[in-house]
Structure formats: structure tokens, C-alpha cells
Chain A
Amino acid sequence: MENIILEMRGITKTFPGVKALDSVNLKVREGEIHALVGENGAGKSTLMKVLSGVYPYGSYDGDILFNNETARFSGITDSEAKGIIIIHQELALVPLLSIAENLFLGNENLDNGVINWPKTYARTQSLLEKVGFKESPSTLLGQLGVGKQQLVEIAKALAKDVKLLILDEPTSALQENDSAKLLDLLLEFKAQGISSILITHKLNEISRVADSITVIRDGQSVSTLDCHAQAISEEDIIRDMVGRDMAHRYPTRDNASDDSHPGKMLMEVVAWNVWHPDALDRQIIHDICFHVRAGEVVGIAGLMGSGRTELAMSLFGQSYGKNIQGEVRLRGDIADLSTVPNAIKSGLAYVTEDRKELGLILEETIQINTTLANLNGVSSQGIIDENIERKVSEDYRKALNIRTPSVFQKVMNLSGGNQQKVVLSKWLYSQPDVLILDEPTRGIDVGAKFEIYSIINQLADDGKGVVMISSEMPELLGMCDRIYVMNEGRFVGELEQADASQEKIMSMIVKA
């Protein structure tokens, strides 16, 4: 067990003006699962790019020893030839090609330059079996869910005779049962002697599978923990990650103990039914009823694919689905939510799950993104007053603590947490009564999460209603007054904060 397969010593990598890595050390033993944790921007991805040769030998300082040989990779092909395979957060697969074609893309089974299909399919079959995934090799990749695509990506790594598998946040887009399967698979690989490096934000995954942990903060390796030598609590890891003690992962809310809490009824949804936009015979949302009161944070728990996002989008200006039926009352009156502008006018805001695709205009500045949903607020007769606009966006930048020198920064230059704050600014400025937040902390680091939670609490204290959709149950349990449990397009239960637990939520989902 004490064989070191990989040692990175004193890795220093500078970009113009920034020291991204400052003498980072990383030691991975043969056949272990090594967790690499750190806040976003701490340098994890950069370190892995150095390891895989994306930043070639010579562009960094320090040594990489792989199997006791000094490695001098000049590109990904070099590192892959040695058996170091990275699976990136964004999957590098072609949706319109089959599983078999994807598996051997760039690594085809050739006979004199011609693809040998029978061999390709046979090998695909055996690789798929190894990752425990039953599917025809000729299935198009685009027809698979994210979890299954992830498995294909891993099978692809196996096709290349992997010695060290690096997974960059593999479970960030997966729901709990797929994540669990993936982690089991890692444990299986470990039994076969394949080492892996697991980059993740989810501390429960680490405690489940990791043998040792390296924490990176601000481009430096802060600590290396051996999970077998000592008992490691999540709090220990968090403290190392953020460099400060985090007594509470979830901030407390002021109004929770008020007598008037929760306040008056803000939004009531009655018998909401939605059908699939293309397949009109498929009902996606079934008879959903729920309500949100002023000052309340209401959670919607459920697995991915349970229809949470579809529910939110269909409410918000019918952005999803066809043949939508049901009634929504806002402050007691029936609301017209037939279009997005009407929904905004009625006091509804929807912070999308995917901020880059659906929430932001990355090429534009913070200022322009902030006012986009309420341009009328900064203009008269269709003419924008840039001074007012600047003041508005500047105010939100300060209030939400968006870390950037000015509001003229393009949002694509911001970190995930700061981008999320820009999206929040945009929707706060639309002056909503009820905000629907869809996975508001996805892909952002622990410190920024805490700030987002504080903002959510502040909103509740200000008397707004918040609907929070999340795949992370601890987050819902920590933040919400009430939690609705959703499964296959239906609400299958409702829990008060005091009675809610992960077990109860899961059993409601399973028993439904």
C-alpha cells in the first residue's frame, strides 16, 4: 500500500500577474482514492492541468514523479500514454455519435486504417460491463442521461488502460443514487488496483470513499490528511478549505423566532398540471399544490428528473411545457403568468439552475446583466439613464459583496460564486415578492455558499417568499422552514423543518 504512484513536488505555476500555484505538493499512493478539495479558484483544476500536460513541462516549476520516473509531459497524449486519464466536469463526448464511437474516438480499432466495427462493438460491450452499465453500444450518446454519460466517459478511460484516474467533480451534475453508483465504481477500481484522484465539493463523498485528502487553498497545499490514521470530521476539512472556523454552515435567520413568522400568504399554486412540450401525451407535472408565505423559505426536495425545474419553469411565464392548467394566486389575486414579462410584473422571479446557459450574458458587464430583467427601472421612454444604471448595479455589487474592482467587469471573468451573485442581483432588482431559486449553490465553493445562504435569509427577513430547489438535502434541511418532497412530477410529502431529516425525505421518495 505504501507504493507512491504519483508525487508532485513544489509545483509552482504563474500566469501573467497571478500565482495560480505556489509550491504545491501532492502524493498519491498506489491503489488509493485521493480526494483533492479546495474552494473554487483554489488551484485544483490548474494542478490537474499541470499533471495531465495541458500546461506542458517547462511552463511550471517543480517535479512530477510518476511511478518513480520524472514525467515531462508536453501534452495530453503523453500523459494518457502513461495511463493518467482525466475526466472533466464538462463531459467531452459527442451527443450525435453512438456509445461505441465515443468510446474509441481518437483511439479507433483499426485494420489497415479501416474501422473494425465488430471488434469495436465487442470491446464496447466488455467495457460497459466493467462499469456496470447495460446498454447497446450503438445507442446514441445524446439519448442517455448525464449519469450514464458519465459512465461512458469512465469506460472510455478504461479503454485506454488507465493507471491513475482523475475525476473533476464527477457528481456535480448527478443525483444522489447515480452519485452513489459512481462512488461504488471507484471503490471497485480501487480493489483492482487503479488509483484515483477525486476532485469534489461534496464532503460526504469524501468521508465515504477517500483514503487520504489533500486540501488546497489559494494555490497552496494546506494539509494532507490520512483518513485511516485519524478520524476526520467535515468541519476539519472545511476549516482547512476556507482558512477559518466555520461554526455554522448555515447562517441563522432573524425572523425565525418572530411570532408573526411566517407572515401572510404570498403565493398559492393550486392543481398545477403540465404536459411535455413535444410529447403531448406525457404529463410531467401532476396536480401540484403549494404555498409560500411572506418571510418563508420553502424547499423542494427530489431527485433530478423528478420535475422540479419543469415545475419552476412552467410557473415562470410558461417557459416550459404545453397545455398548462392550474391556478396561481399572488397576494390573494389570481395572477396572469402566461408570459415571462407578465410573471415578472406579477412579482415572480426565477433564478435558473444553469447560470451560464440560462442566467447570464457572459460577454456583457455586471452592470448590463444586473438591470436586464428590469430595464424599465433605469430608463424612461425607452432611453436608458446610464448613471442610474451604474448606481443600481454598484449598490447590488456592494450589498451582495461581489468581488470585483468594478461593475464594468465582464461576468465571464468572475468566479462561479460571484456569477451567481450577479444573477441574484438581477432578480432582486426586478423587485419580486416570491423568488424561485433553482439549485442556487450548484458548483460554488463553501465560502460563497455561506454568503448565498445569508442573502437568502436576508430576503426572508425582508418579507419575501423564497422557494428553494436543491439536490443537496443538507442544504434544504439547514435553510428551509418547510420542505415539499417531489417525485415523478408529484408532491409526495411535506415536512416542517423540525421533523425533516434526510431519511424521511428519502423514504417519502422511495415509498411514493
Chain B
Amino acid sequence: MTTKETTSAVPAAPSVTHYLKTHVRDYGMLIALVVIMAMFEFLTDGTLMRPVNLTNLFLQNSYIIIMAIGMLLVIVAGHIDLSVGSVVGFIGALAAVMSVNYDLPTIIVVPVCLLVGLIIGGLQGYWIAYWKIPAFIVTLAGMLVFRGLTLALLEGQSVGPFPKSFQLLSTGFIPDVFGVGRPNVTALVLGILAASTIVFLAARSRAQSLKYGIQDEPFSFFLVKNALIAAAIIYLSYLLSTYRGLPNVLITMAVLIAIYTFVTNSTTIGRRIYALGGNVKAAKLSGINTERLTFLTFANMGMLAALAGLIFAARLNTATPKAGFAFELDVIAAVFIGGASMTGGVGKVIGAVIGAFIMGVMNNGMSILGIGIDWQQVIKGLVLLAAVVFDVYNKQKAR
């Protein structure tokens, strides 16, 4: 009787509270993010949500979020990548040497750097996938190697400033095509567009699920949820529009989130990565090329880390030997806060993004409050632990 059959059918008229109870894992972290934001908004007397601070929040966290997307795939596949922080530093250094010392144009520097990131990830992935060397060890080696190479490349100095065109990667904003300027109408329009697309897609998928009779989400819940999400997006874009509009990185981030959400949810590659992380032997015997997938997952992580490195360098407008130091920890923490499983096979892109935002909002809020870096670390550590405990607790309750 260790495996009992679940015969309790889905209730005919699902109630909102019952639904929330059974899906607390799906929404828990989103609710936590909202609560944390509300708390800091209150504690900082409204500073948190000021347009200028909000813009900063996105700029500050963009590179963590971009890497969290790649790290999610790595962790879902059942591995870990400790080298991303060093790769950020190394790519920043490489970009600085190319742009500043050799005066190469941005249009060449960016693709070369992304390619180098891809190769770095691929090299590490090669050892992990085809030689079965634990990712922890390979990427720990990578972490040391690329930190050292960063120092070597920069000869221990900071190199900068970058040319204007390169800085746009991070500090640029989408100009207002409607010519109003402030409020930035383009930002508003894009926000409304994004909100309506999300609602449209949600409604379409709900309609399909209803057709197959497998929808257990109460309609009122669906309505409120989507209304809130749409309102939040439009409100955020309004706030941003009153400052300088949408930062370029926000667009980059949004596009990446959309692409990777699609890849993980709806493509065979995504499905196979989850299968590989869930049970590598079963996946292999089902005809899945697990080695190649692992390799690609790390190559992809390398490329995203390179992109993050470029954005980070552009934001600081200089490449320093310390750049990216300990970023891997924030990124990994974000993914686990977002509900991914240490053993692989479980986790969502949007969860990792929310996890990254939770970390980001806390960093930002605590800095505004003047809490020292010492206590910030303590609090962040406890939040990571609490999030994972919450997750494990819910899992046990579900059994």
C-alpha cells in the first residue's frame, strides 16, 4: 500500500480557495515577490517604486535575470554552473580590451564576445557531457581559470571607458517614436501591447483546456489573475514612461524570457531537457541524445553569461578584474528561490525570473534603507533557505 492510486477526481465546481491551496507552489513565489515589494514600498516611503529607482532596479538586475534563465536550464538538466561569475568578468575584460585597446567597433565586439561565451560554455559542457565529469568540478575549474584569465587580460587594471555605442547595451533607452518624450508614449504602448498579448495567450490556452475538459482553474481566479498581471505590467510601463522610457536591457530581457519560456514549454528540446533531468537513464533509453543536450545546455549558459558580461561592463562603463565576482551565487539562489529542484527535472523560466527579482528587490530595498552589506547577506541567505523549505514543505504535504 505504499503506492496508492489516486482516485480523487477533480471537483466539478472548483472553489478559488481550494484551487489556491493545491497550487500554492505555482503562485507562492509570485505572491512573495508582491509582498516583499509592498513591504519595501512602505518601509522606504515610496522610494522603491519611483520611476528612477524602478529603472535602476531593472538595470541592476538584468544580468542576473539573463543568467538565471540559462542557469535554470542547467539546473533542470541536473547540473550546476559555478563559472558564470568569472565568465561575466572575462567577457567584460575581453570586450574592454577589444573596444578600448584595439578600437574595434561595437558591431564586431558584441558578436565576437557572444561567440567566445558560447565556446567557453561548450568547452565546459564537453567535459561534463561526454566525459561525465561532474559539473561542479568542471565549472569550479572554469571559475578559477576565467577569473585568472580576466586578471591576466586586464593586467590587474580597470580598463575603460567604453565607446558610446557599447554603453547603449545597458544604459540606452528606447526612444519615443511618437515624439512626446515625457511621458514616453512608446513605453506605454509597448506595455499595453505586452499586457494584451499575455492576456490573449492565457485566454487562448484556457479555451483549449476547457475544450478538453481539463481546466481546474476557477474562472474568477483566471479573471483576477490576468487582470492583476495586465494592470501590473501597464502600471510599470507607465511609471517607466514618466522617467526615460523603456531601457534597452528590459527589451532584451523580455525577449529572452519569452523565447526561453516557449522553448521550455513547447518544444521538443525543452521537453527533452526536463526528461534528462528527471531520469537520465530513462531518457537515454527513450532515444534522447542526453550527451548532446547537456552539451548544448552549457553552451547556451556560456552565451547568456557572455551577454550578461557585456551588459554589466556597459553599465559600469569599465571592465574591472573584480567584475562578476560571486554572481554565480546570486544566479543559483534565484533559480532555487524560483522553485527549481536540486535533483533536476523541475523548474520554470518564469520562476527563475521571479526568484531573481525577489533577490533584486531585496538588495535594492535594503540598500535604500541603509542596511549594511553584512546584514543584507544574512537576510538573503535566510530568504533562500526559507524559500526552499517552503517548497519542500509543500511537496511533502502534497504526498
- Check B287 against A361 for contact (C-beta < 8 Å): no
A interface bracket (residues with beta carbon within 8 Å of B): 35 or more
- Check A364 against B5 for contact (C-beta < 8 Å): no
- Check B5 against A415 for contact (C-beta < 8 Å): yes
- Check A382 against B269 for contact (C-beta < 8 Å): yes
Closest chain B residue to A354, Cβ basis: B281
- Check B212 against A390 for contact (C-beta < 8 Å): yes
Nearest CB in chain A: distance from B14 CB, A? 14
- Check B214 against A390 for contact (C-beta < 8 Å): yes
With a cutoff of 8 Å between Cβ atoms, the chain B residues found around residue A379 in the complex are 267-268
Interface status of B346 (Cβ within 8 A of chain A): yes
- Check A373 against B1 for contact (C-beta < 8 Å): no
- Check A386 against B1 for contact (C-beta < 8 Å): no
The contact of B275 among A21, A46, A372, A403, by CB within 8 Å, is A372
With a cutoff of 8 Å between Cβ atoms, the chain A residues found around residue B284 in the complex are 319, 340
Interface of A is mostly: mixed
Bound: A363/B399 CA distance, A: 12
Interface status of B285 (Cβ within 8 A of chain A): yes
Bound: A148/B6 CA distance, A: 36
Bound: A377/B119 CA distance, A: 33
- Check B1 against A360 for contact (C-beta < 8 Å): no
- Encoded as 1 (CB less than 8 Å from any A CB) or 0, chain B from 205 to 246 comes to 000100010100000000000000000000000000000000
Interface status of A359 (Cβ within 8 A of chain B): yes
- Check B6 against A41 for contact (C-beta < 8 Å): no
Nearest CB in chain B: distance from A364 CB, A? 6
The contact of A413 among B3, B208, B275, B287, by CB within 8 Å, is B3
With a cutoff of 8 Å between Cβ atoms, the chain B residues found around residue A340 in the complex are 284-288
With a cutoff of 8 Å between Cβ atoms, the chain A residues found around residue B8 in the complex are 17, 405
Interface status of B282 (Cβ within 8 A of chain A): yes
With a cutoff of 8 Å between Cβ atoms, the chain B residues found around residue A414 in the complex are 3, 5-6
Nearest CB in chain B: distance from A19 CB, A? 11
Bound: A40/B6 CA distance, A: 14
- Check A41 against B7 for contact (C-beta < 8 Å): no
- Check A373 against B287 for contact (C-beta < 8 Å): yes
With a cutoff of 8 Å between Cβ atoms, the chain B residues found around residue A375 in the complex are 268, 271-272
Residues of chain A from 321 to 358 with CB closer than 8 A to chain B in the complex = 339-341, 343-344, 350, 352, 357-358
Nearest CB in chain A: distance from B135 CB, A? 20
Interface status of B177 (Cβ within 8 A of chain A): no
Residues of chain B from 1 to 29 with CB closer than 8 A to chain A in the complex = 1-10
Bound: A412/B5 CA distance, A: 10
Interface of B is mostly: loop
Interface status of B181 (Cβ within 8 A of chain A): no
Bound: A363/B282 CA distance, A: 12
- Check A40 against B279 for contact (C-beta < 8 Å): no
Bound: A93/B283 CA distance, A: 28
Interface status of A409 (Cβ within 8 A of chain B): yes
- Check A358 against B278 for contact (C-beta < 8 Å): no
Closest chain B residue to A418, Cβ basis: B5
Closest chain B residue to A403, Cβ basis: B5
Interface status of B101 (Cβ within 8 A of chain A): no
- Check A415 against B287 for contact (C-beta < 8 Å): no
With a cutoff of 8 Å between Cβ atoms, the chain B residues found around residue A66 in the complex are none
Interface status of B157 (Cβ within 8 A of chain A): no
Interface status of B396 (Cβ within 8 A of chain A): no
Closest chain A residue to B346, Cβ basis: A363
A368-B271, A373-B286 known; A362+B279 contact, CB < 8 A: yes
Nearest CB in chain A: distance from B322 CB, A? 40
With a cutoff of 8 Å between Cβ atoms, the chain B residues found around residue A17 in the complex are 8
Interface status of A252 (Cβ within 8 A of chain B): no
The contact of A358 among B6, B275, B282, by CB within 8 Å, is B282
Bound: A359/B282 CA distance, A: 5
A41-B3, A413-B3, A413-B6 known; A364+B274 contact, CB < 8 A: yes
Residues of chain B from 252 to 300 with CB closer than 8 A to chain A in the complex = 266-269, 271-272, 274-275, 278-279, 281-289
In the assembled complex, 19 residue pairs joining A and B whose CB atoms fall closer than 8 Å, in A order, are: A18-B4, A20-B4, A41-B1, A42-B1, A44-B1, A317-B285, A341-B287, A361-B278, A361-B282, A363-B341, A382-B267, A382-B269, A383-B266, A383-B267, A387-B208, A405-B8, A405-B9, A414-B5, A415-B4
Please list the residues of chain B having a beta carbon within 8 angstroms of any beta carbon in chain A: 1-10, 208, 212, 214, 266-269, 271-272, 274-275, 278-279, 281-289, 341, 345-346
Q: A18-B4, A340-B284, A372-B275 are in contact. List 20 more A-B contacts (CB 8 A).
A: A15-B4, A17-B8, A20-B1, A41-B3, A357-B279, A358-B282, A358-B285, A360-B279, A364-B275, A368-B271, A372-B283, A372-B286, A375-B271, A383-B268, A384-B268, A386-B266, A405-B6, A405-B7, A413-B5, A414-B6
